[in-house]
Each structure stands twice: as structure tokens, then as C-alpha cells.
Amino acid sequence: MLDLNVFLTLAVAVLLLVLPGLLLSLSLRMRGWAALAASPLLTFGLVLIGILVVGLLGLDWTPWSAGAVAAVVVAGVAAGTAWRARRRPAEVGAPGDRPDDGGRLWAVLAGVGTLVGAAIGFRTVVVGTGGLASPNQGFDALFHVNLVETITRTGQVGPTVAGELNGYPEGASVYPDALHAMASLVDQFDGTSLTSINALMACIPLVAGLGLVGLLRELGLFRAAAVAPITLAATTGYPFDLIWRGPIWVFVFGITFVPAFLVLLLRTLERRDVALTATFGVSTAALALIHPSAALSAAVFGACLVVGRWVQRTSPVGRDLLVLLPAAVLAAVLALPLIGKALVDTSGGTVVDWPAVQSAGEALGELLLYNYDSEYPQLWLAVPALVGIAVGWRTRGLRWWYAATGIVLVLCILAAAYEGPLVQLLTGPWWNDRFRFEGLVFLGLAVFAAIGVVQIGGLVGALLHTVSARLGDRVAVLRTSAVAVGVVVVVVLMGVLSGFYVQENRERMETAYVPGGGGAVSTVDVTAFRVLGDLAGRGPVLNDPNDGSAWMWSLGGVQPVFGAALTKPVKPPLPDDRQVVVDGLNCLDSSERVREAVEDLGVRYVYSSEATILGGLTPNEGFRDLASVASLRPVYEQDGATIYEIDPVPLQESPDGSCGLS
């Protein structure tokens, strides 16, 4: 049974993701599945505007301030659209204003498919994350959860707030934080920083499913639209592998909006409306504020769509550019001041070049067989996907999807199997990470798998039609709905035989969301955090950046000095006092410089754990051998978790052997 608290957190997350954007899409006179599909991306457009407005007005980021901004924007758009409609009534059947078609039956089945896909996603993530409450043990998890904690506790929002986690001066460290801003709103309504961000991850199949339904119905693939949310939600490679691996939450969440981006792009190109064009530009900037490489991924798919229109001569080049160029300029004007530093300042990030680990054939085979970096293939998805690839080409309006999927597939193979400057140039914007490309490939394959299911279901339907014809008029309904029944039969059979891979995907997630603790943070740490709260209150407490102790904030309510792990080399450089303790806290007995740094940080306690995020000895020399430091008096010790009270002894003339400073 679903726990009430989990249900409430999920419900809040769904409503905040969908409802504001849906109101905006309706005010723009979008209707039907297109309005619903675009709504989560439009919500983040409102989040972007909210971040700008509350920053300019000096307001705290709360549901009320964000909601007020959204309400004003929606009301203004609705009023403007109504005024324009009175002056220039829309023509009946005008492009972009057409009602969704395809029959009521397939529209209903699309709704059912979306709900089933959402249920698969909810069950997989909720169980895999221990009821949304288990922390991910990956390197980046601390940063993301504590960034949500920072926004919630300080009321500050915007990409520069990320620097506060490790005490950087304002503007020294910039990170796109639209996802974290949304998680903070969920947190403030119902939940914690951890459960809120886990809940948003659980919503990925729902958001992506809505987008795929809207996109495929725009392309006339009404039958495949009913199946795509299910084939997506059952896939290991996207989203679940990207949720637990790393974790690369901002990227996997960002590419979830690619289908919604394409729906909005199509409607914008068709209608050529000023308000919709501006909204598309704002939404594109918002996608970049979730993650720039997710916006780049959407641009790859979008470019293939637009070029496909030009190749098939369904739209003049100049006509499309008159819409695209102003939207692109607006997106740049909004996004670059917020995250431009993160994009162009190489001193603020790390260049990553992962080694080649596969042959090209291995990478291609594992992708097409739904077997990427896993023990067994997902044959109940792979077979329909291969069928869909074979038959989908007959649909002219879908051929651009082949191009987009092919591009990300090639990039995945390059990242997995090849080295060299050209490979780094092409894959660098995605951190040369084959798993990021894996997610994009499986997003593309979800459409082909849906087409394959429909094709197989059509064969089953033909058989049912033959049977019904022999039985006569008594089963006339079966005869007229044979294809739909056949598709339902195939989907149900997939569910019975594979369980939609919920158990397998849940078990893979649990390798990072370790039940009962383990890894960087364990039940031992959680118990120690409670003791630390009694001793230090809300903090701050000095901690090793790389031992997982920063979880004390979200799990124990105690603010750490270092809220995120450090990479080597540290970029950008830490403030002097923080670098001193990282390098030489264990020199506290002999270094006046270290004592001054500790005093400047305003701390009374130090937390230390034997476990480190990446395993092995901590890379921060100042936090090694703390037990030998006389000025650190242990007040709590349990299974490798130690709380020290800072109690300086008279300065020694020379450092002892444990001192990390030269």
C-alpha cells in the first residue's frame, strides 16, 4: 500500500509540474493533448520568470511568491490572447488551432496508457528509493539535495546560489537550478529536500509520457501515442539507469522535456503567433536552466524536425525562420545572463574524457537489444522496437525521428568506443558520457517500440476480426475495434510476461539507493546526525567534503561547512579559510593559520566518517588522522562515525606527523 506521506508528496509534485503550465497553455488557446503535453515545460517557463522576478524584487522563493508571479503571467497572457482574438478572430481549422483527432477510442487509450506509464514509473522509483526517503550514494547526489536545502532555508534562488554550498563568494560558482527551485516548492508544500527531488524523479515517466502522446498525435500516430508512455516507462536505459547512476538527475530530468519541446515547436511554427513564439523562447531558456546539455539535446531533435519539414516541403524555410530566430534570440537573452558563466568559464568546471570501454558493435548491439550495461536484454521491448524501426519509415512525418535517434546513437557509440579530438569535440557538451547518450537513444527507441507494438497488435486484431466475422453480428463491437483490442492484448501480454520490468529496474536502482544505509551515508551516520543536532543545533559543523557527512543537512537538520563534495583539482578555488582546513585541519595543534580559519568559520564541532563517497582514503589530507589531534576532543564515537568538539590545546612549536601542511 502506498504510504500517505509518499502519496501526498507525489501528488504535490504532479500538480506543481502540470497545473501552472496547463493554465498557461489554455490561455494560449492550445487545446487537447497538445496543451497537456506542453504543460510541464510551460510550467518551467513560469519558474524561469519567477526566478527573475523574485530576484529583482528581493523576495524569498516560496510557493506564494512563485505562485503570484505565475498567476500574473497567466492572467496577462489570457487577457492579451482574448484581446487579440476579438481583433482578429481565428479562422476555423487554422493551423495550430485544430482539435486533436484520431477517434475517441484512441484518445481514451492514450489517457489509459499515460496513467499506466505513470504508475509503472511511480512504483519503480518509490520502491527503489525506499519510499522516496533513501539517499542516493552517488557523487553528485549531495550537491543536488543540499542545493534544494539551501534554496528552501535561505529563500534565495538563481544559479549563483549554488556557490553557497561550499562558501564561494557570490557569482564565483554558477549552476543551473530550475529543477532545484521546483523541488524546493515541493519541499515547502509537503516533504523534505530529499523526498521532493526523489518525487520529481518519479514523475519523469509521466512527464515524458505526456510529451510523447502529444507529439505522436501531432504527427498523426494516434495508435502509437497510446502505447509510447508504457514502452518508455518500462525501459531500463531511460529513465531509471540515469536516475540512479551518478546520479545525473538534472540531465535525465531535462531530456524528459524533449517531446514537450517538440510539441511546442510544432505548434509555434504552425500558428506563427507572437505570444506563442515568445512563450516558446521562454520555455527554451527554462530548459537550459534545467540543464544546458538537455536544451542542446532538444535542439538536436528540433533541428531534425525543422529540416524534415523543409526537405518534405511542408513549410517554407523563410516562414519557419521568421519564428525560430526571434524565439532563439529571446531564449539567449534570458538564459545567458543566468548561466552564461557556467557555459563559457572553463575555470568553473571540469573537462571530462571517459575512456573507451566497448567496441562499436558491442555498443550498437546492446542499444538495439535494450541490453546496455545490463546482464539481460529487455526482449519484450527490443523486439517491438526492431519491428517499429522496420515499418515506421513508411510514415513520412516520422522520418526526421530516425535522423534524430540516429544522431544520438552515433554519439553514444563514439563516446563508448572511440577516443580522439574529434570525439571529444562532438561528445564534449555531454561530458563525453555514453550513459547520457544512452538515455537519449532509448527515448528515441520508445517511439519505435510503440509503433512495433501497434504493428503486432494489428496482426492480432486482424485475427480477431476474422474470428468475429465468423461469429456474426453478436460480436460486432469486437470487429469494429479489432485493432484496439489487439493492441491492448499485446500490451497486457507484455505486462504479464515481463511485469513491465518493474522488479528489475527497482533492483538496479537499489544499487545506489541502498536500503538500510551503506556507502557514503549509512544508518550509523543518520544516528550520529541526530546526536550532532543535539550538540550543535542547526550548525554550522566542520566536515570532510568527500566523506558523505554533508548529508547531515537534509537528514539531520544540521548545516555543514561543506555542502558538496570536491573534485580534484578544486575548481573554482575555495576561499582561503576553507582551503586551509581541507589541507590542514589535522595541524590544529601547531598552526595558528589553521586556528584562525576555524575561528573565522564559526564552528565548534567537527564530524568525521570512515566511509567516503568514492571509497578509499579521503583525498582531503587535512581530514586524515583526526584522532591524533589533541585539540579535537571526541564526544561521540560509533562504528566509524565520530563527532569532535574543538578544544584547542596550547600551540605546539612544530607540527606532528599527521599534519598535512608543509
DSSP per residue, 518-567: -TTS-HHHHHHHHHHHHHHTT--BEE-TTTTGGGHHHHHS--BS--S---
Question: Going by C-beta distance under 8 Å and a sequence separation of 6 or more, which residues neighbour residue 495?
Answer: none
What are 127-184's pLDDT values in tens digits? 999 999 999 998 899 999 999 999 999 999 999 999 999 988 887 888 999 999 999 9
Residue 248 has pLDDT above 70, yes or no: yes
How high does pLDDT run on average in the chain? 90
Is the full-model pTM beyond 0.75? yes
Average pLDDT rounded to a whole number, residues 198-211: 98
> Tell me, what amino acid is at 517?
G
Backbone φ, ψ for residue 542 (5° rounding): -75, 135
User: Could you read off the pLDDT of 329-340 as tens digits, one per residue?
Assistant: 999 999 998 887
SS3 608: strand
pLDDT value for 88: 62
Domain boundaries, the chain: 4-85+101-345+357-413, 523-646
Amino acid 497: pLDDT:
95
Statement: residue 96 has pLDDT above 60: no
- Does the structure show a pLDDT above 90 at 244? yes
| Structure confidence at residue 302 (pLDDT) | 97
Mean pLDDT of 447-468: 89
Check whether 345 has a pLDDT greater than 70. no
The pLDDT, as a whole number, for residue 365 is: 96
Q: How confident is residue 92, by pLDDT bands cut at 50, 70 and 90? A: very low
Average pLDDT estimate for 251-271: 96
Work out the percent of the chain whose per-residue pLDDT is above 70: 92
Strand-strand pairing, 542-543 and 605-609: parallel
Give the sheet arrangement for strand 641-646, strand by strand: 542-543, 605-609, 641-646, 632-638
Using H for helix, E for strand and C for coil, what is the string for 380-418? Answer: HHHHHHHHHHHHHCCCHHHHHHHHHHHHHHHHHHHHHHC
Looking at residue 84, its pLDDT comes to 78
- Give the residue-averaged pLDDT of 202-230: 97
The H-or-E segment that residue 288 falls in is helix 274-290
> Residue 10: is its pLDDT beyond 60?
yes
Interhelix angle 274-290/32-57, nearest 10 degrees? 70
Positive or negative: CA dihedral 399, 405, 411, 412 = negative
The secondary structure of 7-47, three-state, reads: HHHHHHHHHHHHHHHHHHHHHCCCCHHHHHHHHHHHHHHHH
Kindly report, residue by residue over 75-90, the tens digit of the pLDDT.
999 998 888 777 665 4
Structure confidence at residue 190 as a pLDDT band (50, 70, 90): confident
Average pLDDT of the residues in 459-480: 66
**In this structure, what are the phi and psi dihedrals at residue 608, rounded to the nearest 5 degrees?**
-140, 140
Band of pLDDT at residue 518, cut at 50, 70 and 90:
low
- Reply yes or no on whether the pLDDT at 419 is more than 90: yes
pLDDT confidence of 349, banded at 50, 70, 90? very low
Pairwise CA distance, residues 246 & 594, whole Å: 33
Which is nearest to 52 in space by CA: 159, 143, 152?
A: 159
Q: Percent of the chain having pLDDT more than 90?
A: 74
The mean pLDDT value for 542-570 works out to 91
Contacts of 510 (CB under 8 A, 6+ apart): 128
- What is the pLDDT averaged over residues 355-373? 94
Q: What is the largest CA-CA distance in the chain?
A: 102
Average pLDDT score over residue span 115-128: 97
What is the model's pLDDT at position 477?
52
Res. 291: pLDDT tops 90: yes
Q: Burial-class residue 360 by CB neighbours within 10 Å (0-12, 13-18, 19+).
A: middle
Domain 523-646, second-level architecture:
3-Layer(aba) Sandwich (3.40)
pLDDT value of position 93: 40
Q: Judge whether residue 483 has pLDDT over 90.
A: no
**Per-residue pLDDT, 73:** 96
Judge whether residue 348 has pLDDT over 50: no
Give the residues across from 607 on adjacent strands: 543, 643
Q: How many CA atoms lie within 13 A of 243 on its CB side?
A: 34
Distance CA 592, CA 412 (A): 52
Tell me the per-residue pLDDT of 432-455, one tens digit each, with 9 for 90 and over: 999 999 999 999 999 999 999 999
Q: What per-residue confidence (pLDDT) applies to 191?
A: 82
Residue 102 has pLDDT above 60, yes or no: no
pLDDT at 470: 64
Which pLDDT tens digit goes with each residue over 19-72? 999 999 999 999 999 999 999 999 999 999 999 999 999 999 999 999 999 999
Asked whether the predicted pLDDT for residue 241 surpasses 60, the reply is yes
